[in-house]
């Protein structure tokens, strides 16, 4: 019986000792109390507490936490009531202050967020509220961070998740946006038509320029062709004259080589004048030195005619 009691006592001691060993995981902290008072803050690792007199009063997560609060009713400077829901990103930096600074930290942050949001929105009009989210976020983060520093909490970011104006305001805004979109569409259409007209005009201008260039080029080519034609005709006439002159020169040389006297040359000249007249000329001017030869020729012809009659 004594052995059984000893074994039970030994087992109870082992269980108590094991329960006094605590392992703190990463990104966590434990608040240790001794006889109801703060004793220490355990960080990551293995820790041993005194049995019965020590206890882990609070387990605190050091990770960044996100809290999405319910929409809050706020009134703008121009008396427009709207609903705004807020998202808070915070992190516990001092586990002791977090454990003993405020009874319910999350509830305290929610109420502080609501009052801060009402104060900021109350100084803004509706249009400013809708277009100043970054400014509102920055102001709220600064105010909340200062207020929650005593609770061991650091507010990293504040975001306005959604801004919900009244239904009538939403309808008016939708109509305004629709009118703005229609105005932009009309402007874009007009700009498109303007650009199209300009492009068409530029195309017609380019076409006229190309046509003028083509006409100019055609005229130049035509003039070149006419010029070449006249040059060829002139060259042909010159060649013909050279050929005639050459033939005449060769004939004269031939006559000279045959020993013809001046009389024969004169007769050849007369034949040339006859050919020049070609039966079309009504008057031929004969040089004076040829006139005597012509008379002599006539006399010789008459003598030849008398002789032929006498026979």
pLDDT 10s digits, 3-56? 787 888 888 878 888 888 889 999 999 999 999 899 999 999 999 888 888 899
Q: Which of 10-24, 87-101, 246-260 has the lowest mean pLDDT?
A: 246-260
Neighbours of 42 (CB within 10 A): 20
Tell me what pLDDT residue 140 has. Answer: 92
Asked whether residue 98 carries a pLDDT value surpassing 70, the answer given is yes
Q: Is the pLDDT of residue 130 over 70?
A: yes
Mean pLDDT, residues 250-257 taken together: 70
* Angle at CA of residue 212, ends 208 and 216, nearest 5°: 170
The residue ranking higher by pLDDT, 298 or 153, is 153
Question: pTM here?
Answer: 0.54
183 vs 303: which has the higher pLDDT:
183
Overall average pLDDT of the 158-175 stretch: 82
Share of the chain above pLDDT 70, in %: 81
pLDDT (tens digit per residue) in 278-301: 555 455 555 555 455 445 444 444
Asked whether 84 and 140 are in contact (CB, 8 A), the reply is no
| C-alpha closest to that of 26 among 51, 43, 50, 49 | 43
Mean per-residue pLDDT for 303-311?
Answer: 47
Question: pLDDT-based confidence at 310, cuts 50/70/90?
Answer: very low
- Please report the DSSP string for 173-240 in residue order: HHHHHHHHHHHHHHHHHHHHHHHHHHHHHHHHHHHHHHHHHHHHHHHHHHHHHHHHHHHHHHHHHHHH
Q: Which residues pair with 61 in a beta bridge?
A: 28
Q: Smallest Cα–Cα separation from 99: which of 50, 43, 30?
A: 30
Distance from C-alpha of 5 to C-alpha of 16, rounded to nearest angstrom: 17
pLDDT confidence tier of residue 157, bands split at 50, 70 and 90: very high
According to the model, what pLDDT value does residue 225 have?
A: 86
The pLDDT of residue 132? 86
- Sheet-wide strand order for 37-42: 37-42, 28-34, 54-61
Confidence of residue 307 (pLDDT cuts 50, 70, 90): very low
Give the pLDDT score at 131: 84
Find out whether 160 and 136 touch, Cβ atoms under 8 Å. Answer: yes
> pLDDT at residue 234 above 70?
yes
Mean pLDDT along residues 134-138: 91
| Residue 63: per-residue pLDDT | 93
| Mean local confidence (pLDDT), 173-192 | 85
pLDDT of 218 reads 87
Mean pLDDT of 182-193: 88
Alpha helical stretches, state H, the chain: 2-19, 95-100, 105-121, 126-131, 133-148, 167-257, 262-277, 288-310
Rounded to an integer, what distance in angstroms lies between the CA atom of residue 203 and that of residue 206? 5
* pLDDT at 237 exceeding the cut of 50: yes
Statement: residue 245 has pLDDT above 50 = yes
Is the C-alpha dihedral spanning 225, 227, 228, 232 positive or negative? Answer: positive
Which residues are CB-neighbours of 60 under 8 A, at least 6 positions away? 28, 29, 30, 31, 92, 95, 98, 99
């Amino acid at each position: 019986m004594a052995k059984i009691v000893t074994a039970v006592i030994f087992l109870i001691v082992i269980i108590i000792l094991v329960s006094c060993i605590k392992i703190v995981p990463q990104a966590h902290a434990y608040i240790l109390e001794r006889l109801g008072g703060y004793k220490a803050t355990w960080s990551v690792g293995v820790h041993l507490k005194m049995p019965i007199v020590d206890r882990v009063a609070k387990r605190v997560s050091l990770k960044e936490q996100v809290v999405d609060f319910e929409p809050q009713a706020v009134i703008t400077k121009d008396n427009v009531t709207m609903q705004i829901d807020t998202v808070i990103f915070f992190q516990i930096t001092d586990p002791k202050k977090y454990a003993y600074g405020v009874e319910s930290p999350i509830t305290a942050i929610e109420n502080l967020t609501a009052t801060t949001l009402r104060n900021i929105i109350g100084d803004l009009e509706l249009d400013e509220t809708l277009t100043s989210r970054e400014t509102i976020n920055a102001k709220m983060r600064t105010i909340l961070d200062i207020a929650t520093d005593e609770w061991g909490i650091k507010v990293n970011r504040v975001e306005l998740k959604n801004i919900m104006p009244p239904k009538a305001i939403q309808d008016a805004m939708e109509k305004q946006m629709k009118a703005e979109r229609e105005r932009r569409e009309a402007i874009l259409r007009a700009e498109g038509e303007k650009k199209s007209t300009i492009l068409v005009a530029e195309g017609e201008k380019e076409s006229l320029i190309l046509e003028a260039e083509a006409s100019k080029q055609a005229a130049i080519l035509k003039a070149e062709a006419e010029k070449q034609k006249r040059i060829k005709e002139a060259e042909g006439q010159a060649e013909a004259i050279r050929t005639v002159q050459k033939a005449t020169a060769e004939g004269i040389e031939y006559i000279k080589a045959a020993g013809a006297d001046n009389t024969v040359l004169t007769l050849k000249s007369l034949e040339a004048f006859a050919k020049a007249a070609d039966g079309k000329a009504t008057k031929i001017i004969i040089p004076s030195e040829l006139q005597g030869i012509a008379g002599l020729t006539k006399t010789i012809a008459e003598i030849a005619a008398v002789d032929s009659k006498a026979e």
